[in-house]
Structures are given as C-alpha cells and as structure tokens.
Structure 1
Amino acid sequence: MALIVQKFGGTSVGSIERIKNVAQRVARARAAGDEVVVVASAMSGETNRLLALGAQITKHPNERELDALVATGEQVSVALLAIALESIGVPARSFLGHQVRLRTDSGFTKARIKGLDADVLLGTIRDGRVPIVAGFQGVDDAGNVTTLGRGGSDTTAVAIAAALGQGVACEIYTDVEGVYTADPNVCKNAKKVGRISYEEMLELASLGAKVLQIRSVELAMKYAVPVHVRSSFSDAPGTWVVGEEASLESVVVAGVTSDKNEAKVTIRDVPDQPGRAASLFEALADARISVDMIIQNPSATAGTNKGTTDMTFTVPKGDVDKAREIAKKLFESQGIDVDGDVVKVSIVGLGMRSHAGVAAKMFRILADEGINIQAISTSEIKVSCLIHSKYHELAVRALHDGFGLGD
C-alpha cells in the first residue's frame, strides 16, 4: 500500500462528467490499496471568468481582493469532487487552503508557501476518508486568502507530498500524456520523454513549457518528491520527473521549448555610471517583476552621447506596464522602447555539461533559417535565444529536427 498525491488540473475537472471520471480514477486507486490525497484546480475557464469580472469594475483591482475572488473557483471544484466520490461510495471531505493551514507569505497573486500542517490530512485518511484539497490557494499570517500564481495547484500538490513524508509520489494529471521533446502542436514528430531530471524540468518550466509550474519543480527537487506527469484521459504511463541519473546525462538535448510571454524593454542613453543598473533591477525586484535576459551595450548614439549605454532586458508581458513606469521614474530623460513581438526559444539538456559546441550548433541552425538572434542567455544545461515572434514555429521545428529529437 502506498500513499500518493493526485493533482487534477482545470481540464480534468472541466465538467460534471469529467469530475465523475476523476472520482472513478481515485476510487480505482483506493481499490488497488493506495491511500490518496487529491488536489484539484478550478474548472477550466473559471479563473479567467472570475478575473474578467474584476476587470469589468477596474483595470487594476486590489490584489488582496483579487485573491479572495479567484480562490472561489477551487472551492467549487473540490466540493463537487467530494460529492462525486461520496455518490459512488467513497467517503471524502473537501478542504480549502486555510483549513489545511497551507501558510504563505503575503505576496498576493504570487504568494510563496511557508509551511503546511499535514496532520489534518493524515487524520482524515485515518478516518477512512479521501481528503480533497483546493489547489492554488493558502492563507497568510494575518488570515488573508492568498493565491500561488498561475499553475499554483501543481505547487500545492508537491508541497503536500513533501509534507506527508519521504517517498510520497505526486501524480500530476493534465490534458497531455507527459513531457514531450517539444510542443506537439508545433512539432508533429515530438516524442514523449519517459524520465527527465528535476534540473531539466526546472529549466523547461522556466523557459515556457506549460506542463508544470516552475515552483512545483523547485519544491520537488528540494524535497526529492517523485513527480509523475500523466493524462487524465488515458491510463498510459507518463513522464517521471526524478533526480539526476547517469542515463539522463547521455542525452545532449532533452527538449526544445519556447516562451511567447516575454517583452523586450530598452532604455536608451543611460549614463554609464556605477549603480544605475543596480537601482533599476532592485526596483523591479521590489515590484516582484522577474527579469530574464539582460544586455548592456554602448549607446546607439554614442557618438553624440558619450559615456552612455543602452540597457535592454526582458520581462513577462503582463508586467510590461509596471516595468515601464519604474524605468520612467528612474530615468526620466531617457527614451524607453518596448517590443512585444519577440519570443524566446531554448534548448535544454544535462548532456550539455560534457559536450562542446552545442550553442554554436544552435546558432548555426537558426542562421541557416535566416533567423536573427536579438539576445542570448545560457546556463550549464540550457541555451536561450530571443528572436522575432514571426519565426517562432520555424525556429522550434528547426532546432527539434537539427538536434535529432524527432521520431
């Protein structure tokens, strides 16, 4: 008998029929002898519907109230799933974030988990019931409802698995059968990966892959939680996200991914003085804006503006307005340009550590397709290039085939 955490995303609980199917899957796991803790997201489209309601009142709702609003989506789905389980003879009980004491900081809309009391869940299991926990939400020290950001139910599920004890696996049920070498909607010959390391999955998640939220992978790696990404609509094995293994290091490139949710911000003619960059990026960090690529070059007008530099960086598109306002306050006299017609394409693989020339091959593949690179960032196991958005799918397919990842 094993104790497992099963998380079901929005598409998995998107209708009453699908909620009934989830209940049957949970019942089968119980019948096989496993004890199950379930985490559920809001029904598909519900969070967007709730956000749209707030937007009808104001473009910038108070974030505390926004969290109180969107957290109601999960309350509906966990209650319906508990009702569905009870209707087929499986005792169940639904819980909201504050009821299992999933404690977070007060970073509304992007809260981070501080702790979790597993006793409530273990007590429910001992009583013969299946705990159904609302994903995506928690409570801060002042008792305010908080949310963990898009995809936060993944993080809830991994946090629960970690709190329940060593070796508890976390099954993430979604609308795809696992992690693929590229987006199958872009690369028809993309292959499902049987096993992938935490590090590779962390890079893929941070670079645009939508399968897992990045913080869920961080937690899984920190607490060695085995994660199994599976389809809610199939019994086929999915992809195991695990610790580093020798067999994984033999693969030079494990996957190609892209992120269309980035915008490029350029501040022109910044005085080339110590502390200018620090003041900007400190202010962006204080505003909880994640900065990715950073480039600093001599100003394009250096001949007339000696001692100046052009500073370029990328941020999520949703944070562009806030980033621009911060930059305006700090650099009133400088021009600020925003370019949203960009996409970041990346290759990821543990094998890059021991294979030379991977970046050069990537640049050559893009060059042969006539694709200009606007910015580059690298780590031990990934290379990312910022390109014009019109080349998005061409670049992903060319890299996928160029590194031999297809069937």
Structure 2
Amino acid sequence: MAFFVQKFGGTSVGTVDRIEAVADKIVTSRAAGHDIVVVVSAMSGETNRLIGLAEQIQAQPTPRELDVLVSTGEQVTIALLCMALHKRDCPARSFTGAQVRILTDGSHTRARIREIDSIRIKDELGKGSVVVVAGFQGVDENGNITTLGRGGSDTSAVALAAALEADECQIYTDVKGVYTTDPRVVEDARLLRSITFEEMLELASLGAKVLQIRSVEFAGKYKVPLRVLSSFEDDPGTLISLEDDKEMEAPIISGIAFTRDEAKVTVTGVPDVPGVAFQVLGPVSDAGIEVDVIVQNVSADGSTDITFTVKRQDSEQTRALVADIVSRIGAREVTFDKKIAKISLVGVGMRSHAGIASKMFKTLADESINIQIITTSEIKISVVIEEKYLELAVRSLHAAFDLAGDAATL
C-alpha cells in the first residue's frame, strides 16, 4: 500500500471518454490499496480558448481577471472527474486551488507557491475519499485567484506530493516517459527507465517538453520521487529521483535536448572597459527578457564583441533595446540571427569521463556542421548551430553516443 499523487494533463482529460478512462485508472489504483490525490489540468485546448475570448475583448488582458478566467478550465475537469468516480461508486471530493489553500505570491499569470494547507485533503483521505485538486492555480494572501503559468499543473502536483509526503508523484501524459531525445526527430530514441533530478532539470531547461522546469526543481528540492508515464499505455514509464551510486558509471550521456526557439544577438566593437557587459545586458534583463547563452570575446585593440541568445519571441524587443545601447556606449554595430538552434548533451556520467566534447565536435564536423557558440557545465555541453542542420545534428549525435535501443531496465 502506498500514497500517490497522480497528475493528468490536458490531453489525458481532453474528452469525456478520456475522463472516464482516467477514472478507471484511479479506481484500479485505489482497489490495490493505495491512497490517491489527483491533480488535473484543463481539458485539452480549453485554456487557449479562454485566452482567445479574453483577447477578443482586451488585446492585453488584465492579469488578475485573466487568472480568474483561465482557472475555470481546471474547475470543469475536477467536477467531471469526480462525477465519473461517483458513477463507479468511488467516493471522491473536488477542490479548487483556493479551497485547498494553495497559497501563492501575488504575481498573476506566473505565481509561485509559498505554502499548502494540507488539512482538508488529509481529512478527506481519512474518510476514504479520492481527492481531486485543480492544478495550475492557487490563491494569494488577499484571496485573489492566481495561476502558475504554462505547465503549472505539474508544479501543483509536485508541491502537493511534497506537502503530503507522498511516496511518489506520478505525471500521466501522452508519452510513455522521458526519451533520450524527441522520438519525432529520432525514431529509435530510447525510453529511459530512470534519470536523476539534475539531468531532468537540465533536459527540461534546454528544450525537453515532458515536464515543466519548476516542477522538477520542486521535486529535487523536496526529494519527491517523480514518475512520468502514459495515460494510454500500460508501461512503468521513467522514474526521476536522487542520484544513485550504482548508476554513476552508466550511461555517460542520458539524453539530447534541443530548441529552435532562440535568436542570437551580437554587439561588435564594444569598448573593453569594466561594467560594459552590464551596460549591454542590464536593460535586456530589466525588460524581463531571459538571456540564455552569453559569450564575450577576448579584447582586441581596446574593443570586444558580446554575443548572447534570447527567446525568438523576444528578439524584436531585444533589437530595440540593444540599438539604443549601441549608440549610447559607442559600440560599432549589432546583428541578429533568428535562424539558429541549440543542441545539448546531458549526463551525470560526464563528470567521470573525458573526451565527450571532442567526440561531439568531431561528429558535427563529419557532417560539415559549423558550431557558432559552445557552452559547458559539469553535466552538459551545448552548441549553437544553424537551424537548418538541427535534425541532422541530433540524429548524428544520437547515433555517435549509442543512445538508440530498447528501454533500459531499472
């Protein structure tokens, strides 16, 4: 007998039939003697529909009212799922984020969880009920409804699992688990049976879409075992947990992450004086634009070049900001390139194995793929290349590091 927090995403509850199927899974888990808390997203497409309605009225909807609107998507799902459970003679009780009192800060549309009052949930579990909680939402100290941002239901589930000291947080989705890379790009990508929090955090931050980054951070901080598995297939999925000594020697590379959603900015002829990097990047950061890779060249003739990447959607705003900066600091010019992609190798095995970078660079060179930027960390190597070579590069690296094959055993 165990205690699980199970989260079902929008695809898993996208239709009434799928909600019925989720109810069957929950009943099966409960019949095995497990205590269950369920966290659900809005039905697939519902959040986008609600945002679309808001934008028909207001081009940039008021954040507080937008939170009030989009939070209703999850409220529909929790009610329907409880009805499906009642039909199966399974006692169940639904709660919104405010009813459970998932307390957040007041940052509408991107709130962060501060604490969770678990009393009501524990009371219902004590009565033998399945507790169904609306993901993605909470309430601030003034009683205002808040939402956690895209993918926030993952964070809701992990936070509840931490607060309730669950044995495992199970994230049900439309894929079997975490793969060595995107199976849509590499057909023989391998399903990983286990991966560390550290590796998963890197993969999520570098473009893997399986889990929201904040949910992995939360799980790692509170040591909540996290499992990603399919709503539609009977498979144990991928367990994400603390690093285990027996795994230290294998594998060297756990996965390849990539993203097309970046633009490269290069400011040339920057005066090489103290504080110049802050003068270039400070206004970009102050505008709320996230800067990813940063490279500054060695000074030549009293000037240097600074290159950095931003999300492609932020490129035009960045262009305007940097154009003003260039004239102010006396730099030569600024160039932009939206046709780039970033590819990253991730694996804790890098700590104890040499030659990973050289093998990566040789593999790309053999395909005549030029590397524009290189960045590294203890368990990651990232390169920026031309976007048109992305899929070729991913397939070549996947083969070079022998990542294909059957799913590994735990």
Give the TM-score normalised by the residue count of structure 1: 0.92
Counterpart for residue 310 of structure 2: 315
Q: Which amino acid aligns with 2:357?
A: A
- The one-letter amino acid paired with 1:5 is V
Q: State the partner residue of 1:81.
A: 81
* 1:254 counterpart = 2:263: no
Residue 249 (structure 1) shift: 2.0
Amino acid of the residue matched to residue 356 of structure 1? A
Cα–Cα, structure 1 residues 315 and 107, in superposed 2: closer, same or farther, change >3 Å? farther
1:395 maps to which of 393, 396, 399: 393
Bigger mean CA offset, 31-40 vs 83-92: 83-92
Cα shift readout 1:102-126 (whole Å, capped 9, x = no counterpart): 1222333222221111112111212
Q: Give % identity.
A: 55
Higher mean C-alpha deviation, range 341-350 or range 96-105? 96-105
SS of 2:291's partner is coil
Q: Secondary structure at the match of 2:54?
A: helix
- Write the letter of the residue equivalent to 1:50: L
Q: Give the drift of 1:313.
A: 1.4
Structure 1 residues 275, 65: closer, same or farther in 2, change over 3 A?
Answer: farther
Cα distance, 1:91 vs structure 2: 1.8
Partner of 2:408: none
- Residue 105 of structure 2 is matched in structure 1 by 105
Query: Kindly tell me: are residues 32 and 243 of structure 1, through their superposed partners in 2, closer, same or farther at Cα, counting changes over 3 Å?
Result: same
C-alpha offsets along residues 325-383 of structure 1, whole Å, 9 cap, x if unaligned? 44355445564443222111111111100111101111111111111112111110010
Does the CA contact (< 8 Å) of 1:197 and 1:248 recur in 2?
no
**Map 1:7-406 → 2, pairs under 5 A:** 7-165=7-165, 168-250=167-249, 251-297=251-297, 307-328=302-323, 330-332=325-327, 335-406=333-404
1:221 counterpart SS class: helix
> Retained in 2: the 8 A contact 1:172–1:227?
yes
What secondary structure, in the 3-state scheme, does the structure 1 residue paired with 2:199 have? helix
Corresponding letter in the other structure for 1:223? Y
RMSD across aligned C-alpha pairs, in angstroms?
A: 2.0
Q: Is the 8 A contact 1:162 1:168 kept in 2?
A: no
Aligned counterparts of 1:73 and 1:270: Cα–Cα separation in 2: 49
- Bigger Cα displacement from structure 2, 94-103 vs 382-391: 94-103
Moved more, 17-26 or 329-338: 329-338
Matches of 1:258 and 1:204, distance apart in 2? 9
Shift of 1:131: 1.4
Q: Is the 8 A contact 1:2 1:34 kept in 2?
A: yes
**Residues 79-107 of structure 1: CA deviation (Å, up to 9, x unaligned):** 21112111221122221112212122233
3-state SS in 2 of match to 1:292: strand
AA matched with 2:347? G
Please give the alpha-carbon distance, in whole angstroms, between the structure 1 residues aligned to 2:11 and 2:220: 26
What is the rounded CA distance, in whole Å, between the counterparts of 1:129 and 1:366 in structure 2?
55
Return the offset for 1:180.
0.8
Which segment drifts farther, 352-361 or 112-121?
Answer: 112-121
Deviations along 1:225-274, one digit per CA (max 9) or x if unpaired, are 01111000012110100110123322111111111222223334433332
Larger deviation, residues 384-393 vs 319-328: 319-328
Unaligned runs of 5+ in 1: none
Structure 2 CA distance, aligned partners of 1:383 and 1:52? 39
Alpha-carbon spacing, 1:221–1:72, altered in 2? closer, same or farther (3 Å) = same
Aligned residues: 401
User: Is 1:248–1:350's contact at 8 Å kept on the other side of the alignment?
Assistant: no
Tell me the secondary structure at the aligned position of residue 293 of structure 1. Answer: strand
**Cα separation, partners in 2 of 1:315 and 1:139, compared to 1, 3 Å:** farther
